Amino acid sequence: MFLLGPMIQNLGAIWIDRHKAKKLGMTDFMKSLFDDNAGSDLAIVVTPEATRSRVTQWKTGFYYAALKAEIPICLAFMDYEKKTTGVGMCFVPTGDIQKDLGLIMNYYQSIHPKFPENFATDERYSS
């Protein structure tokens, strides 16, 4: 596992300065990454469930960071039943969190996770 850090860094990973992130808040910190890397092909990967355990309420910082930075949210997936992976729908958040996260929850309803017992969409936004 100790080799994972250098390998990911060689792929272009940017490590989080937790002191700066703590001062700004994670949402503003993620936005600052885009400001600091303007013109580059920066992408941030976030798992909004924030855990490997089952949760019914996702963290929404990824949404607010994308909204502030005016960048698209792209929905990645690994469908274990269909044995496919990729990036599906992309959209720029509108500011209507109910509508936008409803779209995300609807998208993931048809994806089959490896451990279905550990995955749930956010019931606040599911239709």
Q: Please give, one letter per residue, the 3-state secondary structure of 78-114.
A: EECCCCEEEEEEEECCCCCHHHHHHHHHHHHCCCCCC
pLDDT at 1 over 60: no
**Where does the pLDDT of residue 3 fall: very low under 50, low under 70, confident under 90, or very high at 90 and above?**
low
Residues 82-100: b if buried by 16+ CB within 10 A, e if exposed: eeeeeeeeeeebeeeeeeb
pLDDT at 119 over 80: yes
Residue 91: what pLDDT? 96
pTM of the predicted model as reported, rounded to 2 decimal places: 0.77
Query: What's the DSSP call for residue 118?
Result: G
